[in-house]
Amino acid sequence: MGFRLPAVIPAKKLLRRSFSNSSQGASNNLAYFPVYVGVSEKQQFVVPISFLNQPAFEDSLSESEEEFGFDHPMGGLTIPCRQDSFLDLISHLSAL
């Protein structure tokens, strides 16, 4: 069974897409921010900034803050959870 996650794009793919579509104009550009996800090995995802208004995403960030603090050595937001759990959350948020 396959499913599509249009709201979460690995960073390299987003950059490639933005450079290839640069002639189309800025009318369909959305604001994104980097998120590093993983327990031991981190993978960077680029998430729409509109997710910051979603209560489920806010809860995930609050739990990460309480348990791990705000030390983000990679320069971006770090969520220390399993990547499949993060993708499930993002899939749920994309459906809203």
Tokens 């998430």 correspond to 47
Q: What is the layout of strands, in order, in the sheet containing 32-37?
A: 9-10, 43-48, 32-37, 77-79
* Residue 25, pLDDT above cutoff 60: no
Higher pLDDT, 11 or 84: 84
User: How high is the pLDDT of residue 56?
Assistant: 85
Residue 75 confidence (pLDDT): 67
Q: pLDDT by residue (tens digit) across 32-85?
A: 888 888 888 889 988 888 888 888 888 888 887 787 766 666 667 888 888 998
Cα torsion angle, 10, 16, 21, 25, sign: positive
